[in-house]
Amino acid sequence: MSFVTRYLEPSLVERLNHLQLSARRVVEGSIIGQHRSPVKGASVEFRQHRFYSPGDEPRRLDWRVFGRTDRPYIKEYDEETNLRCLLMLDCSGSMAYGGKAGVKHEYAAKLVASLAYLMLAQTESVGLGLFGPRLEQWLAPRAGTNQLSRIIDVLERSAPRGEGRIGQSLQEAADRLGRRSLIIIVSDCLAPAPLLREGLARLRHDRHETIVLRVLDGDEVEFPFRRWSRLRGLEGERPRLVEPAMVRRAYLDNFRRHREELEQICRAVGAEFHVFVTEKPLAESITTFLHRRAVR
């Protein structure tokens, strides 16, 4: 698959091509005889048993039934397709922040494009949702190289603005998805943790597998400011003139507690949680992420 834009630069594509084998271990689909889905039951829905006939594949035998009845039965399914994945990108105003490493939204969009590239190369079905105050853009999961073009087109026309309501947006996505999918949320998660809990709880209720990829700027992690600064909110908050030395400790304590709450929520609902910092090269961060998942 060859596709180069500002979100998939040649150097990044070259690294991604070397990661495709690793990605296959992370987001395998359920093509018969090739690979299985990590979301058990999401892509394969059981229908009924039938008696074994010569020529049937032995791996389709239901060994539990055989053990109880001493009679060979085959499991049949209504549908056997690839994994369906929905990539959700936060386009709220806070994603417009950028320090020396660039704007968070740009980094996050490249991350989304990279994951779409990897999964579509593995013949998976990939969709895209952009959210801010609500779910604003929607591409239903599909396979094929044309889907990558559609995803890139939506990303190139996206821009961070307005208030973010991540919980509501996740619930809207769940309403549209139908059957179980892998959902990857790319966001700075700078919202009250209970709102994220509501959205993730809905996804868990619908039995989706969920991964939260938190994208942050180094300034948000370390609060390195030294001089009097006017801090302006990007989602409608009033600007504040602050002396960094007076607020640094309170900010870092609040940031730590919020991060711990996010991690606790994700554990409680069975969602994975990973952090990407824009100062770290994207290809390196994706490699680390894939390897951690492969180890799991």
More confident residue, 261 or 99: 261
- Predicted pLDDT at 55: 56
Structure tokens at 214: 């938190």
CB-based burial label for 219 (10 Å; 0-12, 13-18, 19+) = middle
Residue 73, helix vs strand vs coil: strand
Strands 73-80 and 44-51, by their bridges, are: antiparallel
Q: Which residues pair with 73 in a beta bridge?
A: 51
What are the extents of the domains in the chain?
A: 10-27+82-295, 44-80
Contact 44, 101 (CB under 8 A): no
Q: What angle do the packed helices 10-26 and 282-295 form, to 10 degrees?
A: 10
pLDDT digits (tens, 9 = 90+) for 72-119: 877 755 444 467 899 999 999 999 998 888 999 999 999 999 999 998
Q: Is the dihedral of CA 237, 211, 84, 194 positive or negative?
A: negative
Protein fold of 10-27+82-295: Rossmann fold (3.40.50)
More confident residue, 194 or 21: 194
pLDDT digits (tens, 9 = 90+) for 29-52: 332 323 344 444 434 455 567 666
| pLDDT(220) > 90 | yes
- Predicted pLDDT at 19: 77
| DSSP summary character for residue 238 | P
The separation between CA 208 and the C-alpha centre of its own chain, rounded to angstroms, equals 12
pLDDT band at 56 (very low <50, low <70, confident <90, very high): low
Residue 263, helix vs strand vs coil: helix
CA-nearest of 184, 182, 251, 189 to 214 is 189
Q: What angle do the packed helices 282-295 and 104-121 form, to 10 degrees?
A: 50
More confident residue, 33 or 2: 2
pLDDT digits (tens, 9 = 90+) for 137-185: 999 999 888 999 999 999 999 999 988 889 999 999 999 987 788 999 9
Structure pTM? 0.78
Per-residue exposure over 8-39, b if at least 16 CB sit within 10 Å of its own CB, e if not: beeebbebbeebeebbbebbbbbbeeebebbb
